[in-house]
Amino acid sequence: MSDSSEYTPPKVWTWEQPSGGQFANINRPISGATQEKDLPVGKHPLQLYSLATPNGVKVTVMLEELLELGHKGAEYDAWLVRINEGDQFTSGFVGANPNSKIPALMDHSTGTPTRVFESGAILVYLAEKFGAFLPKDPAARTETMNWLFWQMGSAPYVGGGFGHFYAYAPEKFQYPIDRFTMETKRQLDVLDKTLAERPFIAGNDYSIADMAIFPWYGGLVLGRLYDAAEFLAVDDYKHVKAWAEKIDARPAVDRGRRVNRVWGEEAEQVPERHDASDLDLKPAAEAAAE
């Protein structure tokens, strides 16, 4: 079925009006800072600037998993970046990530602070820094990297494709929703067939591949993304769902999901994390009274 109106692209595209939709106020065809503002720096060597979107959750889960293993050097400050308000376009954030996307990490334990951007790069950086969640065996390491890069290349079809046209676009059109629903379900099927044969994404051990894939695809099958579980018939992907429930039950994953979160149950929101005690759950009545 075709859309109700047909669009003929001009010979040269020009930016004439907002694109519409939930994030129209921050979408633009140019890069760089719009305001001068330094990034805050806390007491820990690792400084994270993020929001609890799926890409942000990957990194806070990794940091919480490292801390649970006893890596004290993984202590971190997590600063809230409100992307809907344009915090990612400050000069300080652009210095940490010229692409103006969360998450961004600054490691102050190095002689000169090291910037790390792109969630997959941050996961690899932390895995190598602390020697955890990335196998040393070449074959197992390669399989883990295969799936990490699969996620980085595939998730834009889920978020920028399916999620945008199904949940955020100002108008609903069948063609893009069908196109990206088909691809999202194909990707879920890839994962389901893989997880039918192994307990974790890359093999027998929990790794950064699971941490990268869980916030996106686990979020879908657990009904946390785009209110689309029924639409996508997620119960059809029983192996993905069982894996997602297993990952979701990990204490470090629960903590990581709440860091830089400013929506949902108020007691589970941790807008910023500067100490482990910031993640202590508060009774709902107490949280509501603050």
Mean pLDDT for the stretch of residues 16-31: 74
Q: What is the 3-state secondary structure (H, E, C) of 26-40?
A: HCCCCCCCCECCCCC
Q: String of b and e for 47-60 (b: at least 16 CB within 10 Å)?
A: bbbbbbbbbbbbbb
- Which pTM does this prediction carry? 0.93
Cα 290 off chain centre by: 28
Write down the pLDDT at residue 2.
46
pLDDT band for position 285 (cuts 50, 70, 90): very low
Q: Give the CA-trace dihedral at 103, 108, 113, 117, to 10 degrees.
A: -10
pLDDT exceeds cutoff 90 at 167: yes
pLDDT exceeds cutoff 50 at 198: yes
Measured at the CA of 144, the angle between CA 141 and CA 150, to 5 degrees, comes to: 140
Q: Each residue of 81-103: pLDDT tens digit? A: 999 999 999 999 999 999 999 99
pLDDT exceeds cutoff 70 at 288: no
Pairing of strands 76-80, 46-50: parallel
Residue carrying the six token digits 């994953």 = 253
pLDDT band for position 19 (cuts 50, 70, 90): low
- Distance between CA 251 and CA 260 in Å, rounded? 17
Phi, psi for residue 50 in degrees, rounded to 5: -160, -175
- Distance between CA 68 and CA 100 in Å, rounded? 30
Write down the pLDDT at residue 4.
55
